[in-house]
Structure 1
């Protein structure tokens, strides 16, 4: 089901945000984070989230506006939210590129840009999980879901599926390593 897919993608995005935050903490200690991992996270958001995940949500939201305009109004302007998220992502990419190019920068400025992205993405996911998805499940009809599913891209998640793209292999390994370390610490 589409909402299950979108929810699973949200959990995967949360994993990426945790890795990005981990790398930012390393940066904040004046150590060198894994920039290959950071760049891969940015690329993932640019590619998969912007080109597949958000358009899918936008299709569901368009149907929600038709079926339950009041519920849709409570969710807000989803397309605008996605656009603002993309703008924040571009600021993160620009800040990271600046660090890698040894441009003059204030560490706290880079930190603020990345933390702003993290905070807004997390808040956006919570809102969608709490308000948008339940409203869509309640209001949309089987024919709506069928129509939305017919527009689903055959594109598999380039990081969290069996079709992992080469450029994301290091990121996937890094995520698994961090999750194993966190699990070991909990024991």
Structure 2
């Protein structure tokens, strides 16, 4: 059965949470003087840049724009969410490069990775909190069948390169790490700090391959 667009976005959020917990774990290691996995970090940020930012966010933008068009009371929130999308794109590009520089051991790269990495996770957390608690409920309340039909027709429906089916070689290492180190309890705890009382949704494909 075809998922409702909001349900699909929420499933994608669940997968994005797993990647963000993996990033957080590596940043914690870096902050406490450990040696983070630079390859894992680079692939995590690359995944976020190439799937959520290229496919997930544009689908959200279709919902946001439709809400603005019908005059739903989310105008200011939508402006902030659009701005955060752009901010996240810029941070992801910078963090990919910083992750690739980590093996050189320069303190400047480590410090900048920590600073921008924490900023990135905080922005993602606030962003998804606003969507989950405010904008998605407003979309379900105000948008009608014709709106959802238009959104479906415009949305790019492509497979998630890591969670839909078999992960390609580039993401297999990251996927294996998440299935091994990012358990449901850790995932729920991280998510609960942002959206209290609600567990993140994971796509069925991710669960089946665990």
**TM-score higher than 0.5:** yes
1:13 pairs with 2:20: no
Contact 1:99/1:105, CA 8 A, preserved across alignment: no
In 1: Cα distance, 2:183 partner to 2:125 partner: 23
After TM superposition, give the deviation of residue 2 of structure 1 in Å.
0.6
Task: Quote the residue 2:123 is aligned against.
Answer: 120
SS of residue matched to 2:86: helix
Q: Secondary structure at 1:37's aligned position in 2?
A: helix
Q: Which moved more, 1:87-96 or 1:111-120?
A: 87-96
In structure 2, what is the equivalent of residue 178 of structure 1?
Answer: 181
Summarize the Cα distance change of 1:111–1:74 in structure 2 as closer, same or farther, 3 Å threshold: closer
Structure 2 counterparts to residues 59-138 of structure 1, below 5 A? 59-103=62-106, 105=108, 107-138=110-141
Is the CA contact (8 Å cut-off) linking 1:158 and 1:164 kept in structure 2?
yes
How many angstroms does 1:180 deviate by?
4.8
1:145-170 CA distance string (max 9 Å, x none): 01111123231111111142221111
* 1:181–1:96 Cα change, 3 Å: same
How big is the alpha-carbon RMSD for the aligned residues of Structure 1 and Structure 2? 2.0
CA distance in 2, matches of 1:166, 1:71: 41
Q: Which has the higher helix share?
A: 1
Q: In 2, Cα distance between the equivalents of 1:142 and 1:86?
A: 31
- Identify unmatched segments of 5+ residues in structure 1: none
User: Residue 157 of structure 1 contacts residue 163 of structure 1 at CA under 8 Å; is this kept in 2?
Assistant: no
Name the TM-score, length of structure 2 as normaliser.
Answer: 0.79
Shift of 1:88: 2.0
Q: Is the 8 A contact 1:48 1:157 kept in 2?
A: yes
Of structures 1 and 2, the one scoring higher in RCO (CA 8 A, sep 6+) is 2
Q: 1:77 to 1:28 in 2, by over 3 A?
A: closer
Inter-partner Cα distance in structure 2 for 1:35 and 1:135 = 40
Distance 1:13 1:181, change over 3 A: closer
Deviation at 1:70, TM superposition (A): 2.3
TM-score using structure 1 length: 0.88
In 2, distance between residues paired with 1:86 and 1:173?
A: 25
Q: Corresponding residue for 2:205?
A: none
In structure 2, the CA distance between the partners of 1:120 and 1:66, relative to structure 1 (3 Å rule), is same
